[in-house]
Amino acid sequence: TDYGTAANWDTGSVPTSSDDVIIANVSNDCVLDGSRSVKSFVVQAGGDFNGNAETLTVVGENGSGYAVDIDGDIVGTNTMITITTPATTAVDFNPTSGAVRDLTINNGGNTITLTDPMTLSRNLTITAGELDTASDRDLTVTGDCYVAGTLTGNASAISLGSLEVAASGTYNATTGTTTITDEDSVTGYTWDVNGTFNNNDGGVTFDLGSGVDSHIRTGQSDGANSFHNLTVLLNASTNTLTMRPNAGTVMTIEGNLTISEGVLQKNTHSHTLTVTGNVEIHAGGKIDATSASGAMNMGSLTIDAGGTYLATTGTTTITNKASSNFAFKNSGTFTHNSGTMQIGDGSTSTGGAHLMNNTYYNLIINRDENAPDGNTPWRPSSGTEVTIAGNLTVTKGRFYRNSSSNSLVVTGDVDIAANGQVGTSAASGSNTFGSLTIASGGTYLATSGTTTITNKNS
């Protein structure tokens, strides 16, 4: 079984870096005896190899164009392989049983292409060169993935314990889903991109294990290296994923953000988080911006029963709507934290965008069309009354009750600008305002019930 015994090999000598090594289907299983170098490495079907916590370095390729071709069995849990082949080559890390523990790729600027799915029981390190999953070869790394070269995911299913991309590195993500399952035990980051991340419109899911509180660090400058669709799926509703940029003050998700379970929060209070698509917070999920003053920008916001959004003390801006026609729909917990919610940015075309929530602080309506279009119907999540605990400002568009008999309470000032409108002629529910200012060109269509003014503006 001893790799270092010359008589165990058909050449009568221990292989060197000039030899194509083949582990055949024989009665004695090969056990590596120390760090060794070979030209190429093959484990044939039925053959067994045990790395024995030593490192096998592959420096070339065989006549079939493979640096490594494992069809047999990997015995034990301590096989480590390094590939330094100075040419474009292929590898097959798909044993009948077992798995290589650690794989290191350090082959200059050359490409290594998978011909079969690959699973590593611990770490993948790409020091230099590229690992390409071909069109759809799945890659699973149970431990840490460190990329100082290039990892190209194509359309493969990619699962990594954690991902660190060095300043010189690039992750060309799969167009499918990259799943992150743990965190780096040294850095404490589950995702740490210092180099380049090309999302290729693929999704990233953080499906972290039991009791893991971790960190995401992404972006070299404002909005760079953005996620496409991001899903947070932690082990418990109390586990936290903290998001921060490497540089600048802006973090961007250019698709949808889904919080299935666990807490997502920003590390620095003044940073801005922009989600161009829909934000969905499911039961057991939470976005916690309680201590944050930075802006939160979203295409739409949906909070399911059991979900929570603890708003920034700054402004949450919603620029679009979900397929349900709701720009904001709250069936769970929304805490305004004395922050402002703004519906629209004055330009984004959204059509009719409905709001469902009981209590706001400051609410700004700045839709894409002037009144009487730019429709923004409001309704309570429960009961018959909506309260705005601060001011209501209608800059552009029409703000009105979805159900004519519902009541609206604004404790502060109501300001209707030239292109704004509050109310419809069908309203019968009561309106209570701190004060009411209607600019030239603005419109207030009063309820057939009572409008009560309780204060005065500045």
Q: What's the pLDDT tens digit per position in 121-156? A: 999 999 999 999 999 999 999 999 999 999 999 999
Residue range 398-440, pLDDT digits in tens? 999 999 999 999 999 999 999 999 999 999 999 999 999 999 9
Q: Could you tell me where the beta strands, DSSP code E, fall in 325-379?
A: 326-330, 333-335, 340-343, 354-356, 359-360, 362-366, 375-379
Give per-residue pLDDT as tens, 150-190. 999 999 999 999 999 999 999 999 999 999 999 998 889 99
Which residues pair with residue 401 across a beta bridge? 378
Answer whether the bond into residue 372 is a cis peptide, omega within 30°: yes
> What is the band of 96 on the pLDDT scale with cuts at 50, 70, 90?
very high
End-to-end CA distance of the chain: 89
pLDDT of residue 227: 94
Round to whole Å and give the CA distance between 225 and 392.
Answer: 37
Reported as a pLDDT band with limits 50, 70 and 90, residue 210 is confident
Looking at the predicted structure, is the pLDDT value of residue 235 above 90?
no
pLDDT of residue 268: 78
What is the residue-wise DSSP string for 116-155?
A: S-EEESS-EEEEEEEEE-TTT--EEEEEEEEESSEEE-TT
Q: What is the pLDDT of residue 185?
A: 85
Question: Has residue 219 got a pLDDT over 80?
Answer: no
- Write out the two tokens for 200: 């290729």
Per-residue pLDDT, 305: 98
The pLDDT mean for the chain works out to 95
Say whether pLDDT at 390 is over 70. yes
Interacting residues of 27 by C-beta distance below 8 A, sequence separation 6+: none
Return the pLDDT at 348.
Answer: 73
Lowest mean per-residue pLDDT among 84-93, 346-355, 427-436: 346-355
What's the whole-number mean pLDDT along residues 367-374? 92
Contact 299, 279 (CB under 8 A): yes
Q: What is the mean pLDDT of residues 210-239?
A: 87
What is the per-residue pLDDT for 35?
Answer: 97
Query: What mean pLDDT do residues 18-34 have?
Result: 96
What's the pTM value of the predicted model, to 2 decimals? 0.95
pLDDT for the residue numbered 349: 67
> Could you tell me how many residues make up the chain?
458
Determine the pLDDT at residue 398: 96
